[in-house]
A and B are shown apart, each in its own frame.
Chain A
Amino acid sequence: MEAGLKPLGREKFWLWAMLAPTLFGLFFSAFGSLLATLALSFTRWDLLTPPQWAGFANYIALFKDPKNLTSLLNTVRFTAMYVPGVVIVSLLVAVLMNRGLKGISFFRTAYYLPAVTSAVATALVWQMIYGKDTGILNYLLESLGLQPVCWLCTDMALYSVVIVNIWGAIGEGMIIFLAGLTTIPREYYEAAEMDGAKGLQKFFRITLPLITPSIFFQTLISTINAFQAYDYIYMLTRRGQGDSSVPVVVFSIYRNAWHFSNYGGASAQAIELTLIVAALMGLYLWLEKRFVVYE
């Protein structure tokens, strides 16, 4: 993007002044901790005794560990379902809400509720909903004459957990899209109507292209969230001594860092995760150049 306002003379000062807080945060805080993480990933550190140089030992251990592959696969599968789910459902909700109907503020609040409620409390509720013998969901299935499903058993757990995570993220996506939708000038729709465009055509011809900046944002943020999601996953699939039947990478980082005295290994996993998401982000940024329409 070569376009943009050229700062004139003294405005250069203003430009850097306005960027200063962010640049400070970027170089001082964010990169400080990234570098510290990188450095620690080459050490053995139990948090209690001084770190010891370990070379690539943590990375080698990571490649050798079959559990690491499992958790990576889980993370990827989770992301592959979660991201489209959140983006599509929340876009749909936002579009319906943006039709300017009466009483929509009630719906807005209703759809935002899951996003504000604490995960600990809602995970408990979901556990009751998903219950094998006593859950509401199976009660509904059975009253429809269908076979009950063991929602949180190993084969189904990933899907059940994806549903809860999407449920919890719709509110946030809806807000992003509602804000995005307000930028579309009304005249565009009026003009399209003159040309005889119907509801769905209007959506695909006007709304969708013009909301690509928000879709891009929401896709990228959802991907990052997906790679870092673990609270609902952990609480719903907890088993053993704090293990999970759907272990994801961040969960494994958490356990290595705080429970298994392996902060160096956790740092290596964090770097691994960062590299993977960074690669994905590179892909997104490339797609942005091709498909995202800015004014």
Chain B
Amino acid sequence: MKRTLFSLILVLTIVLTACAQAGGTPAPSGGAAEIRFMAWGDPAELEVWKQIVADFEKENPNVKVNVEVSDWDSYWTKLKTLLAANTPPDIFAIDAPLYKDYQSRGVLLNLKPYLDANPGLLDGLYPVTLKAYETPEGYFGLPRDFQTIVVFYNKDMFNAAGIPYPQQGWTYDDLREIARKLTKDTNGDGKVDQYGFYADLWDMELIWGEGIWAHGGDVISADYTKTLIGTPEARKAWQLFHDMIFVDGSWPDANTAAQYGGDPFLAGVAAMTTIGHWAIPGYAEASFKWDVAPMPAGPAGQATSVNSAGFVVAKATKYPQESFNFIKFVLSEKGQTRLAELGFACPVLKSVAESPAFLEQEVKVNHQVFLDSLAFARMKPSFKGYEEWSSVIGDGMSVVWTGEAELDATLDEVVKQADEVLAKNR
């Protein structure tokens, strides 16, 4: 009896949801298609998207694109609410690691027919950036820009210590040694107030993925069924991070970093950090001089992570062709140039990435490093359940980085939990 009642309510919810779809998006008026495009970003990005839309609408007078930009945290809540109510935006931005999650749940449009009709469209894009979006059935999304991780260093601190800047070919041993030399108590109060290095250890993207790869390990098996961060090779990387924090003291622990807004490099207390191109506009405001260098090499060579922000089209869209055309436009030289000028990310279109639009942008640092890093970059994994998997690892390891738990045992436990998440999402 109770069960019938609940089923009834459930059915009602679903019916309401279905109705919502019917009433949600405005019907086409006067033949013009109205597309809703949603992305995360800040006000500067909103402005650039509006310009791109204006350019696009000039070339496609029958299409109107409404852009909605939200902050990162809110974006996902808004997106999921709209998807749950069956009123998704026609096009929306996606973070590559989350792409497979959405794709595997069947809410995205397969772009294959449209790509087949546009042969050669993807030729000018960096191939490694496309990998995250490949599925056996075709592409359900495309990258719009990419991020490689590089080392940012505080030139003033290096100059003051008379240490040469990091160069291509340096190693993790060099990194540790330099970091140790740059760790100082500058005012003599017995406390360290300049650290050699800081990197965020929550997400694999900033340091631990790179470290594991460079030491010959991997983060996850190719079929996404086994978490590999506990292998002997991977443990070498973890041990290195652990020792830099707790033995050398050249890397502030998580509680220390928090008091600098989570970014000791920007706060001017850490000499080096690893982060992507997105940090550049913010770092441009720093009170010191800085530049970028490629990631160091480990025993297994050099490695960095490549990730991308991409687009997908909702399966429920009424305007698949128009939506695709908009994506195509953003991937064109014109669209990519606009995005490059924003300065947050690297263009996926080779010809624009290698042009002055990207290399000679407002903030004058060695932007070429980000492109060269692609040569040894590995894709941040993308699979169903990625977010929970990544959280289990980041959350689980966090007690190590605050100094509350021991490394090896925690790692064993985290691998176990992470594998459970993978099994659940099989």
Contact = CB atoms under 8 A, between A and B. Distances in A.
Q: Do A and B touch each other in the complex, judged by CB within 8 A?
A: yes
Interface of A: 35-36, 38-40, 42-43, 46-51, 53, 124, 127-128, 130-135, 150, 152-154, 239-243, 245, 255, 258-261, 263
Interface string B184-214: 0000000101000000001100000000000
Nearest to A155: B404
B391 A241 contact: yes
B134 interface: no
B10 A239 contact: no
A50 B393 CA distance: 29
B135 to A, nearest CB: 16
Contact of A241 (B76, B101, B106, B202): B202
B315 to A, nearest CB: 10
Contacts of A51: 10, 13-14
Interface residues of B, number: 41
Nearest to A130: B259
Interface in B49-92: 76-77, 80, 83-84
A42 B13 CA distance: 13
Given A38-B6, A243-B398, A47 B258 contact: no
A48 B402 contact: no
B402 A154 contact: yes
A258 B76 contact: yes
B102 interface: yes
Interface in B92-121: 101-102, 105-107
A21 to B, nearest CB: 23
Given A127-B259, A133-B256, A154-B402, A43 B10 contact: yes
B259 A132 contact: yes
Contact of B391 (A150, A154, A240): A240
B87 to A, nearest CB: 13
Contact of A152 (B76, B191, B258, B396): B258
Contacts of B9: 35-36, 38-39
Nearest to A46: B105
A241 B394 contact: yes
Contacts of B171: none
Nearest to B82: A47
B382 to A, nearest CB: 15
A87 B80 CA distance: 38
A4 B6 CA distance: 39
B122 to A, nearest CB: 27
B388 interface: yes
A240 to B, nearest CB: 4
B177 interface: no
Given A240-B397, A240-B398, A48 B10 contact: no
Contacts of B254: 239
Contacts of B362: none
Contacts of B106: 48-49
Given A39-B10, A42-B6, A261 B394 contact: no
Contacts of B395: 239-243
5 contacts: A53-B7, A127-B261, A240-B397, A259-B76, A259-B387
Contact of B80 (A47, A150, A152): A47
Contacts of A127: 258-259, 261
Contacts of B21: none
A105 B92 CA distance: 50
A131 B10 contact: no
Given A47-B80, A48-B102, A240-B202, A259 B404 contact: no
A250 B192 CA distance: 38
Contact of A259 (B193, B261, B388): B388
Given A39-B9, A46-B105, A127-B258, A258 B202 contact: no
B13 A39 contact: yes
Which of the listed residues A50, A241, A255 has the most CB atoms from chain B within 10 Å of its own CB? A241
Contacts of A135: 259
Contact of B396 (A38, A49, A154, A240): A240
Contacts of B76: 258-259
B368 interface: no
Contact of B390 (A48, A132, A241): A241
Nearest to B101: A261
Nearest to B16: A36
A260 B98 CA distance: 11
A152 B255 contact: yes
A74 B191 CA distance: 33
B98 to A, nearest CB: 10
Q: Which 4 A-B pairs have the closest CB atoms?
A: A241-B394, A131-B259, A240-B395, A243-B395
Nearest to A135: B259
B402 A239 contact: yes
A50 to B, nearest CB: 7
B391 A259 contact: yes
A30 to B, nearest CB: 15
Contact of A48 (B107, B260, B397, B404): B107
B416 to A, nearest CB: 14
Contacts of B14: 50-51
Contact of B255 (A38, A132, A242): A132
A51 B259 CA distance: 43
Contact of B13 (A40, A124, A153): A40
A165 B398 CA distance: 24
Interface string B367-398: 00000000000000000010110110111111
Contact of A260 (B202, B258, B388): B388
B404 A154 contact: yes
Contacts of A50: 14
Nearest to B80: A47
Contacts of B77: 258
A132 B253 CA distance: 11
A53 B10 CA distance: 9
Nearest to A36: B13
A226 B2 CA distance: 32
A107 to B, nearest CB: 31
A189 B396 CA distance: 59
Contacts of B398: 239-240, 243, 245
